[in-house]
Amino acid sequence: MLPRLLFALGFALSGVIATTGSAFAAFDPGRDELMGITAAVIGVLLGFLTLVYAVKWYFGWDQQPPTDLPDPHAGHH
């Protein structure tokens, strides 16, 4: 369910960015402004991914379910 939700969110976000591109037509950032914007976007994305992983870790969603392996000492040959 979570992968579908994340895909839908990314898809909707890319649609919003694609349709609002004309609103930023007059924006011509310099090299320093572009580096600052890029660093800010990367920082926000890394913070969001860290938050998602922290929630997964806290609730135990990142652990594999236990496997049902036969007991090696039970004589299963």
Query: Which is more confident, 30 or 75?
Result: 30
Its pTM stands at: 0.52
| 3-state SS record for the chain | CHHHHHHHHHHHHHHHHHHCHHHHCCCCCCHHHHHHHHHHHHHHHHHHHHHHHHHHHHHCCCCCCCCCCCCCCCCCC
The 10s digit of each residue's pLDDT in 35-62 is 998 999 999 999 999 999 999 989 988 8
Query: Which is more confident, 75 or 2?
Result: 2
Task: Please tell me the least confidently modeled range out of 1-5, 43-47, 51-55, 68-72.
Answer: 68-72
Can you give the residue ranges of every domain in the chain? 31-62
Average pLDDT over residues 6-11: 86
